């Protein structure tokens, strides 16, 4: 997995993604597009590409940071109770602001997700955790509580199916006016890169990082806020995509070790390439129809990851 190959693959797949679709636009026509072609290009193809890349990059990097901070390979970025708070937000916007536009609903849900993360961190602060296991544990329990409140009301108003369809990964619905919230995550991703070394040190434990002169609590908090914000934005606009937050960071660390700064580009690229490839395949296989991204990711991803994992096992660990 040389980084140059990943970069090349990434560029090729991005270009392919722009030119695959029902209405044909060939790469040669880019500079001489008819009005209709330009319209499709700007309202559908480009937003789709952007959202695929941000989702792939964002979720896998969040997973990596979260696993580093909690020193636990099985923590996914949704473990901090973010997703459950966002779901509660969706529910509230569905019940109270039924007529609001999708973007407004997303913003409401995003605010809920931030508020949820804030409460989660207040709880963590008061607990004075002696052990990093308490970060994901408190997150899971907090998520459970918020989740049960959501399910309770969703059950009452018969909204369970509606909510689960909202959160199902789907790039087909991405058009201009529905995905702009995703841009929030770009500055956050840059921030994540700047803080990468500090996250690596924080991952060595509280005492160790304090000895090295790191403000442990502050770094952990920044990491959690970055993860929460990116996760909720991605999940709200695109939906949940399996594997990204958990398996991709793990595969990269199996090959590359635990230096976060070095792993970040690999993880980001692998995440983006993976989603791009699956999305393109899903659009081609039963052309002109589409297979939902959740299925292609689930099936193709399982195959690839099993091969990587088992192939690795042969050479010993």
Partner 1 sequence: MGSKTKIYLLIVLAFTLVTLFLFIDLNNWEYALPRRGTKILAIIITGAAIAFSTVIFQTITNNRILTPSIIGLDSLYMLIQTFLIFSFGSTSVLVLNKHVNFGISVIVMVIFAGILYRALFKKGGQNIFFLLLVGIVLGTLFGSLSTFMQVIIDPNEFLSVQNRMFASFNNVNTDLLWLSLLLFGMICLYYFKFNKYLDVLSLGREHAINLGVDYDYVIKRLLVIIAMMISIATALVGPITFLGLLVANVAYEFMKTYKHSYIIVASIFISIIALVGGQLIVERIFSFATPLSVIVNFVGGVYFLYLLLKESKKW
Given 127, 190, 212, 284, the residue binding partner 1 (CB under 8 A)? 127
Counting contacts by CB under 8 A, is residue 22 touching partner 1? no
CB of 310 to partner 1, least distance (A): 7
From the list 289, 275, 107, the residue with the least C-alpha distance to 182 is 107
Under DSSP, the state recorded for 177 is T
Say how many residues touch partner 1, by CB under 8 A: 47
Question: Could you say whether residue 75 binds partner 1 (CB under 8 A)?
Answer: yes
d(CA 182, CA 163): 20
Q: Which of 145, 190, 212, 284 binds partner 1 (CB under 8 A)?
A: 145
Decide: is 286 part of the binding site for partner 1 (CB under 8 A): no
Residue (of 284, 294, 81, 50) closest to 175 by Cα position: 50
Q: How far is CA 96 from CA 67, 99, 105, 227, in A?
A: 36, 9, 10, 28
Among candidate residues 283, 57, 91, the one with its CA nearest the CA of residue 170:
283
Region binding partner 1 by CB under 8 A among candidate stretches 25-33, 91-99, 171-179, 306-314: 306-314
Asked whether position 31 contacts partner 1 by CB under 8 A, the answer is: no
Residue 211 binding partner 1, by CB under 8 A: no
Provide the residue count of the chain.
317
The answer to the question of residue 297 lying near partner 1 (CB under 8 A) is: yes
Q: Is 122 in the site for partner 1 (CB under 8 A)?
A: no
Q: Is 258 exposed, middle or buried (0-12, 13-18, 19+ CB in 10 A)?
A: middle
Q: Which two tokens stand for residue 132?
A: 């990093």
Query: What is the Cα–Cα distance from 280 to 297, expressed in whole angstroms?
Result: 11
Taking the least distance from each CB to partner 1, the nearer of 144 and 197 is: 144
Task: Select the residue interacting with partner 1 from 141, 184, 186, 281 (CB under 8 A).
Answer: 141
User: Of 9 and 141, which has the nearer Cβ to partner 1?
Assistant: 141
107-60-277 Cα angle (round to 5): 100
Q: Which residues bind partner 1 (CB under 8 A)?
A: 72-75, 79, 123, 126-128, 133-134, 136-138, 140-142, 144-145, 147-149, 151-152, 155-156, 242-243, 246-247, 250, 292, 294-295, 297-299, 301-302, 305-306, 309-310, 313-314, 316-317
């Amino acid at each position: 997995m040389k980084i140059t190959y990943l970069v090349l693959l990434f560029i090729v797949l991005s270009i392919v993604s722009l030119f695959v679709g029902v209405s044909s636009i060939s790469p040669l026509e880019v500079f001489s597009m008819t009005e209709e072609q330009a319209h499709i290009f700007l309202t559908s193809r480009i937003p789709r590409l952007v959202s695929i890349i941000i989702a792939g990059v964002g979720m896998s990097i969040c997973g990596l940071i979260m696993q580093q901070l909690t020193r636990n390979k099985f923590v996914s970025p949704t473990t901090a109770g973010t997703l459950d708070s966002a779901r509660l937000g969706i529910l509230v916007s569905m019940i109270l602001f039924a007529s609001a536009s999708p973007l407004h609903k997303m913003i409401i849900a995003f605010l809920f997700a931030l508020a949820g993360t804030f409460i989660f961190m207040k709880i963590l602060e008061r607990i004075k955790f002696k052990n990093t296991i308490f970060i994901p544990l408190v997150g899971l329990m907090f998520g459970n509580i918020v989740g049960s409140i959501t399910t309770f009301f969703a059950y009452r108003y018969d909204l369970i199916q509606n909510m689960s369809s909202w959160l199902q990964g789907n790039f087909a619905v991405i058009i201009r006016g529905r995905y702009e919230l995703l841009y929030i995550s770009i500055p956050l991703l840059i921030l994540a890169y700047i803080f990468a070394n500090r996250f690596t040190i924080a991952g060595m434990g509280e005492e160790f990082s304090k000895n090295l002169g790191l403000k442990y609590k502050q770094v952990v908090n920044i990491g959690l806020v970055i993860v929460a914000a990116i996760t909720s934005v991605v999940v709200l606009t695109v939906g949940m995509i399996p594997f990204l937050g958990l398996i991709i960071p793990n595969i990269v660390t199996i090959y590359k070790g635990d230096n976060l700064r070095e792993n970040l580009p690999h993880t980001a690229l692998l995440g983006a390439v993976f989603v791009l490839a699956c999305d393109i395949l899903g659009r081609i296989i039963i052309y002109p129809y589409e297979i939902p991204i959740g299925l292609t990711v689930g099936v193709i991803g399982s195959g690839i990851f099993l091969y990587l994992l088992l192939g690795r096992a042969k050479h010993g660990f």
